[in-house]
A and B are shown apart, each in its own frame.
Chain A
């Protein structure tokens, strides 16, 4: 099992450009999440999904959109990147039953917006 994978690992954008970050999990998890990590602020939830075809806003959703067309994939889009979106982005997933609430994280994507 690969667990949770993220592509790309690094990206540099210019202000106003767009991009999509891909998250994939092979654990058949229902729930998936996108976080951003900034120095001194821990991780903050951007958007999350509780199942295929569903998405919901987290703590800091502005400037981001998401889609969950397939259960195993969760995409995070930036339509018009801003320097304030320079961050490390982590995807996570969790299942139900015994391991409910236990999130598994991907390795992260480091995004720089110039």
Chain B
């Protein structure tokens, strides 16, 4: 069976500090991978998605970036965090685009 991991689970960072969130998937190969941000327990905002190693599509211009160094690893980064980067970050994988399976999420607070 497939499992998706995210870490850390929670993170408190000062404004201007760097960020690295990691997501890994087990039990599958060549998945599509996604990063979402969710504010205030509401809808999901797609940030980045990847259909293969080194292939990243950005949905929202901002100070975040994503990388996929390995088939089942997806990393979300920032060089300098803003207050507005606070939120709940979710990683998801899929085979078929239309059914996505989410990780447990990372709660990021920028102070």
Chains A and B bind each other: no
A residues with a Cβ closer than 8 A to B are none
